Structure 1
Amino acid sequence: MGVIAYNEEQVKLLARLMRAEAEGEGQLGMLMVGNVGVNRVLANCLDFKKIRSLQQMVFQTPGGFEATQKGYFYQRARESDIELARRTIRGDRFWPASFGLWFFRPAGACPTNWYNQKNSGRYKKHCFFQPSGSDCPKVFSI
């Protein structure tokens, strides 16, 4: 059972995204990318009002993920990555991405805010940002 609707192809899609965006950050970094993806499907707010599925989230335009434009993203999902994707779909959350809707890799320090969203923390090279509870209450509901 998941906190969002999904099918097996979408689990593999999320696994591929997690790997392509954060394999260099290890399993925990990949799990955090999964958190952001699941949160975007849950959110129904801000830039994600029309995102109702993992498929829509991964390929959102504009505002989607750079990894979908790279060949590495299109490799077959590995079983280990699929299990990580399942964990995030089940609702496992990992700080600082627990309630995050955005992340990026800056050249230096993480900014306090990014597009008016609060910095929730950094993990290795990625900075994570979360909305307020009043802007996106569904993100905080599970």
Structure 2
Amino acid sequence: MDDRELLARIIKCEAGGEGENGMKAVASVVMNRVNVSSGEYQRIGQGDLRKIIYQEGQFDCVRPVLGGVANPQTIWANPPEQIHYDIADWALSGHKLFTVGASLWYFNPFGPCPYTFPYNGSGSFQVAIVKHCFYNPTALYFET
């Protein structure tokens, strides 16, 4: 898969049910990780989309097994549709959803958004979009 295909697949798998803004928000976080100037994602990803998406433990959609059973919702099992390619093109051309800011993380807490995430305090709450909470890096992140 080329970068466009890979990003379109991660958008569909991670946020396909979240509407256009939800999908753009996830694409924005992925590209924020690609473009961050320091910290873990810069050190591991080195500006490479593939390294960011395939970094171990980051996206459930690239894990073939979850909780000891086969994961039916993966980037390989769910081909993207035109909307996912359009959002991938949008993100790859440098756009991002302004409400997401510099967010490097998102997750669905199945309840209210906690103020910090990850729990070590390296992120602070930015915004909730549909069911996902988005988090900007704190100064602690840049020490990772």
Same fold (TM over 0.5): yes
The aligned residue for residue 32 of structure 1 is 25
In the alignment, which residue of structure 2 is the partner of 1:4? Answer: none
For residue 124 of structure 1, the aligned residue among 90, 105, 130 is 130
- The offset of 1:27, in angstroms, is 1.3
**Length, aligned pairs only:** 128
Identical amino acids, percent of aligned pairs: 26
For structure 1, the 5+ residue unaligned runs are: 1-7, 137-142
CA RMSD of aligned residues (A): 2.0
Q: 1:134, CA displacement in angstroms?
A: 9.1
Whichever of the two has the greater Rg, that structure is: 2
Question: Structure 2: any 5+ residue segments left out of the alignment?
Answer: 64-70
- What amino acid is the match of 1:93? K
Q: Which residue of the partner structure matches residue 13 of structure 1?
A: 6
Q: Are the counterparts in 2 of residues 44 and 50 from structure 1 also a CA contact under 8 Å? A: no
Q: 1:83 to 1:56 in 2, by over 3 A?
A: same
| Aligned with 1:112 (options 112, 115, 119) | 115
**AA of the residue aligned to 2:51:** Q
TM-score by length of 1: 0.80
Alignment of 1:1-142 (within 5 A): 9-48=2-41, 49-51=43-45, 52-62=47-57, 64-69=58-63, 70-72=71-73, 73-74=75-76, 75-115=78-118, 116=121, 117-132=123-138
TM-score with structure 2 setting the length: 0.79
